[in-house]
Chain A
Amino acid sequence: MANSFTRMISGRNTAVILASVGAGSLTSGFLLCDSTADAAERRKLYPPSADFPDLRKHNNCMAAALTPTIYGHLRDKTTSNEWTVDQCIQTGVDNPGHPFIKTVGMVAGDEESYELFAELFDPVIKDRHNGYDPRTMKHPTDLDASKITSGMFDERYVLSSRVRTGRSIRGLSLPPACSRSERREVERVCVTALSGLKGDLAGRYYSLGDMSDREQQHLIDEHLLFDKPVSPLLTASGMARDWPDARGIWHNNEKNFLLWINEEDHTRIISMEKGGNMKRVFERFCRGLKQVEHLIQERGWEFMWNDRLGYILTCPSNLGTGLRAGVHVRLPMLSRDPRFKKILENLRLQKRGTGGVDTAATGDTVDISNHDRLGKSEVELFRK
């Protein structure tokens, strides 16, 4: 009976049939040597068109940019860490849309992803970063805090101020892709370097796996710690694998300068304090960042950075500065005003709930931060 069934089985590799009828470990042993031939066979049986995801109900940057042609060019490529475009886009395929924000829908598995899969990353970056074209434009980095002259806010409204960014360690795969040993290496590199911080930046490291439940809850309540990832945006990309292995938090004694290790990025660096003294927060941020960079360079490591994309992070939305500077501010009247959204847009700011990216506002307090990451330096974004 010549139909789809017969066509499919005729394409089968003989060795696979042998294994299927239980020919045993000897055959399997033989097959192990032949796995690249088998992979090539399977690629022929399933051309890119068979694998192209169904994105008709999707609304994220990846779905807007990915065409069958682009997918056809990229599907069979792998980075030198063996990362594929399917793995980059899995989170966007699994999460069609988000009620509060237009999500990016893809992640990088390593620094090379941004190059090898540029045909897809570039339009996504352009879409997300207001027309920024990595092929032609350059990103400026400026962490000179002395350039900021204002930044003191009314504490009756501004409850807390915070600046965060991320940094990746060059040479190691990013959280969606990293193996356990790479992740542990990231932890080792960071913890060793951080032990060299002094003065008001001196502190200690808390490994997530060794923390007591009580310590952990205390750190979460003080807004110092990251939660076990539950957002499907993160879990679908594979960055939560092996939790809590090699994850942890380092903070200084005053608890106003922190690093998260191996959450969504290799490191997230945060400077924060209660009240409205954003200028001081930014000063400490820049100073701390530069010292950390210096300390890892002493040991032969460096951050992933290039002049087209700025600092390289897991999510394309965080390229450039990776900087989110913001405040928790009480705006009971303004936040209910119908023009609020437009005002934020014009000021190039965004709002979030007080629990972070996937949450809604509690009471009258909103989290207001810069919208842009790429194309403008840290100092420029901060002034906004």
Chain B
Amino acid sequence: MPFGNTHNNFKLNYKVEDEFPDLSKHNNHMAKVLTKELYGKIRDRQTPSGYTLDDVIQTGVDNPGHPFIMTVGCVAGDEESYEVFKDLLDPIISDRHGGYKPTDKHVTDLNFENLKGGDDLDPAYVLSSRVRTGRSIKGFTLPPHNSRGERRGIEKLSVEALTSLDGEFKGKYYPLKSMTDAEQDQLINDHFLFDKPVSPLLTCAGMARDWPDGRGIMHNDNKTFLVWVNEEDHLRVISMQQGGNMREVFKRFCVGLQKIEEIFKKHGHGFMWNEHLGYVLTCPSNLGTGLRGGVHVKLPKLSVHAKFDEVLSRLRLQKRGTGGVDTASVGGVFDISNADRLGSSEVAQVQLVVDGVKLMVEMEKKLEKGEAIDSMIPAQK
């Protein structure tokens, strides 16, 4: 909640045992790390904007577990959360991001020319390609915490920046609250727009407050480059198109992002970034590159193969349904994307997707012919 949270001081009158959440039935990263002792140690802290430990963990307390994915169970309310609550967040980050240490440094590489290949994924299998990331604007608190005034401020800045783009990025901003229902449905069906949040993972963190105030989408005239404003992060930047030319998608992504960043910097509001955590976003799972690059790919045979999950794991990839984070697969079509975010660069992560999907399509073709794929199972990347 905005403007300071002295409610926390009031809660300090109660003993730790009485305030400590019951996490006995929980299975998320937060529940694994947060002990009563740790809770007692850091519960009296708050960030300058008044974000507290209880705010950080509320979504994890309210959502004990998820059927498809191991959730993080906590969010940041502002840039300082990652400092003030590092006793909780560092172990979670390490757990979630493959042992990433508090002393590690993260490398950012948005030079699309460093990507090898990626323009030849078979469009008979790879239906669409997409790369997204998030960006947070310095000087504002994050979606779980911001007030209506801040959210509108973010929107105003973003619209000024985005509508000044030109060339292939030239486009228009559609505020959610003045969109017609028909426009909105069309954008959802085109896979361009974000849904009204219904996932309790998001709503319990408070990021859906005041919907649809201050939310909107900007997209270019070709509908291949989009920016979501004030959904789970300040900005979500997306490049996408039908078919398998991931190289082109990534190029547009990098060029567009760099143009946007230039404009924001010129106006004195850079993006939240530091050399330890990379780009700072609401969910600890999106730190680093914040990048999810992936494809919608038809793998009906491979996906029911006993070794499918192991193949994915070795390729450092993850699967989702075609509706996004909380959904199941439809008709053997999966959303396959990079699993890593922190500790490797944008180029490296997209390279894994490109190489991995290529391999899996080859495997699918083999299975279609009734051949075994055991010799193709990759080593751990």
Contact = CB atoms under 8 A, between A and B. Distances in A.
Interface in A294-316: none
A251 to B, nearest CB: 23
Interface stretch (A15-23, A218-226, A276-284): A15-23
Contacts of A22: 274-276
Interface stretch (A3-11, A97-105, A333-341, A347-355): A3-11
Nearest to A188: B18
A257 B358 CA distance: 65
B80 A31 contact: yes
A19 B7 contact: no
Contact of B58 (A6, A16, A32, A241): A241
A234 B45 CA distance: 29
Contacts of B4: 35-36, 38-39
B210 A53 contact: yes
B203 A245 contact: no
Interface stretch (B153-161, B293-301, B306-314, B339-347): B153-161
A12 B46 CA distance: 19
Interface in B209-229: 209-211, 213
B147 interface: yes
Contacts of A46: 2, 147, 149-150, 153
A377 to B, nearest CB: 36
B10 A82 contact: yes
Given A50-B152, A242-B21, A242-B61, A82 B210 contact: no
B122 to A, nearest CB: 43
A15 B268 CA distance: 17
B157 A4 contact: yes
A87 interface: yes
Most chain B CB neighbours (cut-off 10 Å) among A22, A52, A184: A22
A240 B206 CA distance: 12
Contacts of B211: 94
B19 interface: yes
Contact of B10 (A35, A81, A235): A81
A179 B22 CA distance: 13
Contacts of A87: 1
Most chain A CB neighbours (cut-off 10 Å) among B19, B22, B149, B177: B149
Interface string A87-99: 1001001100000
Most chain A CB neighbours (cut-off 10 Å) among B3, B47, B54, B272: B3
A243 B58 CA distance: 11
B150 to A, nearest CB: 7
B86 A25 contact: yes
Interface residues of B, number: 60
A51 B2 CA distance: 10
A136 B209 CA distance: 35
A6 B268 CA distance: 7
Interface in B9-52: 9-11, 14-15, 18-22, 25, 45-50
A84 interface: yes
Interface in A170-207: 177, 179-182, 184-185
Interface of B: 1-7, 9-11, 14-15, 18-22, 25, 45-50, 54, 58, 61-62, 79-80, 83-84, 86, 138-139, 147-150, 152-153, 156-157, 160, 177, 203-204, 208-211, 213, 266-269, 272, 274-276
Interface of A: 1, 3-6, 8-9, 12-13, 15-16, 19-20, 22, 24-25, 28, 31-32, 34-36, 38-39, 42-43, 46-47, 50-54, 57, 76, 78, 81-84, 86-87, 90, 93-94, 177, 179-182, 184-185, 209, 235-236, 240-243, 245
Nearest 6 pairs of A and B residues by beta carbon: A50-B149, A181-B18, A39-B4, A46-B149, A5-B267, A82-B7
20 contacts: A5-B267, A6-B267, A6-B268, A8-B139, A16-B139, A19-B80, A38-B4, A39-B49, A46-B2, A46-B150, A50-B153, A53-B213, A54-B177, A82-B7, A82-B9, A84-B3, A93-B209, A209-B25, A235-B203, A245-B22
Given A25-B86, A34-B48, A46-B2, 14 more contacts: A3-B267, A4-B160, A8-B157, A9-B268, A9-B269, A22-B276, A32-B46, A46-B149, A50-B148, A76-B3, A81-B10, A82-B5, A86-B147, A181-B18
